[in-house]
Homo-oligomer: A and B are copies of this chain.
């Protein structure tokens, strides 16, 4: 547990370092990747998909909205819900971030060891899908 947390801190620092030139953080990249992949999506659905509490996601979106990378609109089908979507600026940034992200991935793989990284990803996938009964 301590190990997973330490690894999480270490990897986050590594990715943050690579993304710093764009003023983007790992947590935001996480959200951005999810939004970019799905297009418009509800906050709660998104939160669930990336294993974040809605309240945490709400806070992260505040920052991203302030930076003009995403926007949130009220769902016309349910006025309680908010739909999250990328802005043009967000998409542009996302494209810029891709190579930096890949560089971070490479560094992370080197840190973990090339084969171990795959095993790791696989295990994490299984664990996370098993989560949330």
Out of B105, B119, B123, name the residue touching A112 (CB < 8 Å).
B123
Q: Interface size (A, Cβ < 8 Å)? A: 38
Taking A10-B128, A112-B127, A127-B111 as contacts, is the C-beta distance between A30 and B50 under 8 angstroms? no
Could you say which of B6, B104, B130 contacts A128, with CB atoms under 8 Å apart? B6
Tell me if A's interface is mostly helix, strand, loop or mixed.
helix
CA distance A126 to B5 in the complex (A): 14
User: Are the CB atoms of B5 and A11 closer together than 8 Å?
Assistant: yes
- Please tell me which one of the listed residues B5, B27, B51, B128 contacts residue A30 in the complex, with CB atoms under 8 A apart: B5
A residues apposed to B, CB below 8 Å: 1-12, 15, 26-27, 30, 33, 50-52, 104-105, 108, 111-113, 116, 119-121, 123-128, 130-131
